Amino acid sequence: MSDSATGQVSERAMANAIRALAMDAVEAAGSGHPGMPMGMADVATVLFTRYLKFDPAAPDWPDRDRFVLSAGHGSMLLYALLHLTGHADMTMDEIGNFRRLGSRTAGHPEHGHAAGVEATTGPLGQGFANAVGMALAERVLNARFGGLVDHRTYVVAGDGCLMEGISHEAASLAGHLRLDRLTVLFDDNGVSIDGPTSLAQSDDTIKRFEAYGWAAERVDGHDNAAVAAALDRARASDRPSLLACRTTIGFGAPNKQGAAAAHGAALGADEVAAARVELDWPHEPFVVPDDIRAAWRAAGARGGAARRAWEDALAACDGDLREEFLDRLAGDVSETVRAAVAAHVEALIAEPRTVATRKASELALEVLTRALPRMIGGSADLTGSNNTRAKAMKDIAAGDYGGSYVRYGVREHAMAAAMNGMALHGGAIPYGGTFLVFTDYCRPSIRLAALMGLRVIFVATHDSIGLGEDGPTHQPVEHLASLRAIPNLNVFRPADAVETAECWELALAARATPSVIALTRQSVPQARTGAADGNLCARGAYVLREADGERRATVLASGSEVAVAVAARDILQAEGVGTRVVSMPSWELFAAQDDAYRASAIDRGTAIVAVEAASTFGWAAMVGDAGGAVGMAGFGASAPHKALYNHFGVTAEAVAAAVRERL
Ligand SMILES: Cc1ncc(C[n+]2csc(CCOP(=O)(O)OP(=O)(O)O)c2C)c(N)n1
């Protein structure tokens, strides 16, 4: 495989190692996607051997370039690259165990399974938008820390990624913010699953990206010199760059290349054998000849000097800045936020506030964003409604990344995915707002935040029919239940200003769990007026008002309906029915408590009724077979909020009646 004239291994031979590993791993697994890795092997070889700044000996080096495989079905491209460049945990055994239980080589790349997998990808377009968030985080940190954070973000995206709406939103945002360190390598092979992309698409991608404010050009993805020249231009550009790399899907498989047949199935023994001939790759499956392996290892070793130089620069920089930088990267902020929230809660207890919880959230953010400069806020064009911007925050703008607030525009999906990218990048804790009903527009990214275990905070205001006149299009009904169904997502619905601050503390302290904080548009009284020992929301649910006299009823509630529950208690107590009110800001944290605590909070010997101005779906698990739930059975309506609560029967009287039925 050596180039006879120079004695050096050719880049084509290095790329063929990727191709061989991809087809052999897919063959061994009996499933997978050989086409994309085989098609993009040349482009990836140019990137990884000449451009990408990385060091397999220190894969988490903070100033490494980020490489995101947005077209996650082509996972073998990434696994082969990580293996060949010498990432210790990506052994040949792992390649051989592609798609098997417990391997690092899952069907689609999963962040955390192996070093160098910068994001979990597969749902098309997400990785693209993650990369926009990474590139933004890089600029924001660069503005503060200069040369300590000075790297690029590369993405491999396919036709599918670029068809997905999320990439359109994210590309538009990246162009607007002029994220010039972002380069997208578009695998422009013109083929997706159904066949040629012309079946479904006829837009001009280059012109589309140019219109977004990108530098965009077409390049032959099998001409390494041309790819390198295009990458040079991308690096020099003052805009984000799209290189539409014309490639042949399944390059090297003589009978399947160029067609959908190469996309997502094992090629089959005959075709693999034919490809070995076509590619001049006579080696056994999973065997990489020493000279080619050595060339790849040399490419992997390229970044070591830069990494060491960076470490020296860090050691040499001003002590305060170094401290701040290291602190910014550290994951644990629990003590900082605990102290900030404790002081804030003390002030609220001294001077109670009747405010909407969205306003309470803003009050908390005033304190928290000051204590934690790494908080990067934003909203999808609802800043004044979501109350996400603390007064001192400065907008991030094209060429001016010194702020900490992102104007995401009306792009909820890209906002959510970009926040994931910022969290993946490190050094940032992103939060962003929209209406709770529009978390539907964010949901695929919220799910991935949960799957990846990212600290991303979704501020979801206007959280019920309580938003009033905007009507059923804007009134979430099923959203709490559907978000509570996502594993590893904390859904908070605080009842008042104190709980709102406490929930913010919990969201910020949760290093490996994203949070949705559901907040009201309408004012709520402050339920918590006495000092408490610590953060009561931390247990998910707690006794807010104990029964007077013999305890015969328990009313569970979240958010604005805690006030309804307290009013129901007044009615019932007047009738001699001792009633406890349990505030339940987080089902997930409550579920994590031990049996004894849960039994102590929800007394099964009493009549149990829940109230929430949302679908009652799921409450049966809390109230038990004999219990009741007062909530919404269908969509809301357009009217002032008090009229709606009466119309839909989400009232203290209805709760009291439901209790009486069960006494
Ligand atoms: C959101 C989403 N929808 C659908 C799929 C299923 N899917 C996986 S790959 C693919 C086609 C992608 O085509 P392209 O990006 O051109 O990849 P290539 O054929 O070049 O490998 C589809 C529809 C997915 N992974 N994610």
CATH number at residue 601: 3.40.50.920
Spacing of C-alpha 650 from chain mean position: 34
Q: What pLDDT was estimated at residue 17?
A: 98
123 has a pLDDT exceeding 70 = yes
pLDDT tens for 340-383 read 999 999 999 999 999 999 999 999 999 999 999 999 999 999 99
225 near 219, Cβ under 8 Å? no
User: Do both 47 and 191 map to the same domain?
Assistant: yes
The minimum-distance atom of ligand 1 relative to the CA of 39 is: 20
Q: What distance in angstroms lies between residue 489's CA and the mean position of ligand 1's atoms?
A: 26
User: Do both 439 and 506 map to the same domain?
Assistant: yes
135 has a pLDDT exceeding 60 = yes
Q: What distance in angstroms lies between residue 95's CA and the mean position of ligand 1's atoms?
A: 22
User: Do both 172 and 50 map to the same domain?
Assistant: yes
User: Do both 512 and 543 map to the same domain?
Assistant: no
Query: What is the signed CA dihedral for 387, 389, 390, 395, rounded to 10 degrees?
Result: -170
Name which residue sits closest to atom 8 of ligand 1, judged by CA: 73
Sheet holding 182-188, edge to edge: 66-69, 153-158, 182-188, 241-246, 215-220
Between vectors from CA 128 to CA 127 and to CA 133, what angle results, nearest 5°? 90
Catalytic residue, chosen from 412, 499, 502, 612, is 412
655 within ligand 1 shell (Cβ under 6 A): no
Q: Is residue 1, in this structure, part of any structural domain at all?
A: no
35 within ligand 1 shell (Cβ under 6 A): yes
Mutate to test the pocket of ligand 1, among 263, 448, 451 (most ligand atoms within 8 A of CB): 263
Tokens of 298: 């040399």
Mutate to test the pocket of ligand 1, among 76, 124, 194 (most ligand atoms within 8 A of CB): 124
Name which residue sits closest to atom 18 of ligand 1, judged by CA: 192
Q: CA-CA distances (angstroms) from residue 307 to 22, 44, 149, 422, 423?
A: 29, 21, 12, 22, 22
Alpha helices in 389-496 (DSSP H): 412-425, 443-452, 479-484
Q: What is the mean pLDDT of residues 383-403?
A: 98
Q: What distance in angstroms lies between residue 418's CA and the mean position of ligand 1's atoms?
A: 20
pLDDT band at 8 (very low <50, low <70, confident <90, very high): confident
Q: Is residue 268, in this structure, part of any structural domain at all?
A: yes
d(CA 158, CA 233): 21
User: Do both 481 and 544 map to the same domain?
Assistant: no
Q: What are phi and psi of 628, to 5 degrees?
A: -135, 160
Name which residue sits closest to atom 26 of ligand 1, judged by CA: 123
CATH number at residue 246: 3.40.50.970
Q: What pLDDT was estimated at residue 1?
A: 42
Q: Is residue 256, in this structure, part of any structural domain at all?
A: no
Q: Which domain holds residue 141?
A: 11-251+264-307
pTM, rounded to two decimals: 0.98
299 has a pLDDT exceeding 80 = yes
208 has a pLDDT exceeding 90 = yes
Q: Is residue 481, in this structure, part of any structural domain at all?
A: yes
State the DSSP code for 515: E
Q: What distance in angstroms lies between residue 127's CA and the mean position of ligand 1's atoms?
A: 13
194 has a pLDDT exceeding 60 = yes
Pairing of strands 628-632, 607-615: parallel
User: Do both 603 and 482 map to the same domain?
Assistant: no
159 within ligand 1 shell (Cβ under 6 A): yes
123 within ligand 1 shell (Cβ under 6 A): yes
193 within ligand 1 shell (Cβ under 6 A): yes
User: Do both 487 and 381 map to the same domain?
Assistant: yes
99 near 34, Cβ under 8 Å? no
Q: What pLDDT was estimated at residue 201?
A: 97
How many helices (DSSP H) and strands (DSSP E) are in the chain?
A: 26, 18
The number of distinct structural domains making up the chain is 3
148: CB partners within 8 A, 6+ apart: 62, 63, 141, 310, 313, 314, 317, 321, 325
Q: What distance in angstroms lies between residue 458's CA and the mean position of ligand 1's atoms?
A: 27
Q: Is residue 319, in this structure, part of any structural domain at all?
A: no
38 within ligand 1 shell (Cβ under 6 A): no
Q: What distance in angstroms lies between residue 57's CA and the mean position of ligand 1's atoms?
A: 33
The minimum-distance atom of ligand 1 relative to the CA of 164 is: 1
Report the mean per-residue pLDDT for the chain: 97
- Look at the chain and count its residues: 663
User: Do both 478 and 567 map to the same domain?
Assistant: no
Amino acid at 297: R
Q: Which element (helix H / strand E) includes 36?
A: helix 35-46
The minimum-distance atom of ligand 1 relative to the CA of 264 is: 21
User: Do both 182 and 289 map to the same domain?
Assistant: yes
Between vectors from CA 606 to CA 605 and to CA 610, what angle results, nearest 5°? 130
Name which residue sits closest to atom 9 of ligand 1, judged by CA: 73
Q: Is residue 529, in this structure, part of any structural domain at all?
A: no
256 within ligand 1 shell (Cβ under 6 A): no
166 within ligand 1 shell (Cβ under 6 A): no
160 within ligand 1 shell (Cβ under 6 A): yes
Residues 267-286: b if buried by 16+ CB within 10 A, e if exposed: beeebbebbbebbebeeeee
Q: What pLDDT was estimated at residue 447?
A: 98
Residue 262, SS3? helix
Tokens of 490: 């904390």
Q: What distance in angstroms lies between residue 74's CA and the mean position of ligand 1's atoms?
A: 10
Q: Of 491, 524, 557, which residue sits at a domain end?
A: 524
pLDDT tens for 588-635 read 999 999 999 999 999 999 999 999 999 999 999 999 999 999 999 999
User: Do both 122 and 179 map to the same domain?
Assistant: yes
Amino acid at 366: E
Q: Is residue 578, in this structure, part of any structural domain at all?
A: yes
Q: What distance in angstroms lies between residue 192's CA and the mean position of ligand 1's atoms?
A: 6
Q: Of 524, 549, 579, which residue sits at a domain end?
A: 524
pLDDT band at 7 (very low <50, low <70, confident <90, very high): low
Tokens of 510: 């949760």
Between vectors from CA 279 to CA 278 and to CA 280, what angle results, nearest 5°? 95
Between vectors from CA 168 to CA 167 and to CA 170, what angle results, nearest 5°? 60
Q: What pLDDT was estimated at residue 4?
A: 40
Q: Of 524, 556, 589, which residue sits at a domain end?
A: 524
Q: Which residues pair with 491 in a beta bridge?
A: 516
Amino acid at 265: A
d(CA 16, CA 48): 14
Mutate to test the pocket of ligand 1, among 163, 168, 192 (most ligand atoms within 8 A of CB): 192
249 within ligand 1 shell (Cβ under 6 A): yes
2 has a pLDDT exceeding 80 = no
User: Do both 503 and 547 map to the same domain?
Assistant: no
Q: To which residue do tokens 């129901």 refer?
A: 568
d(CA 234, CA 216): 9
Q: What are phi and psi of 407, to 5 degrees?
A: -85, 95
Q: What are phi and psi of 370, to 5 degrees?
A: -70, -40
Q: Is 412 a catalytic residue?
A: yes
User: Do both 291 and 362 map to the same domain?
Assistant: no
Q: What distance in angstroms lies between residue 72's CA and the mean position of ligand 1's atoms?
A: 9
Q: What's the Rg (C-alpha) of the chain?
A: 28
Q: Is residue 259, in this structure, part of any structural domain at all?
A: no
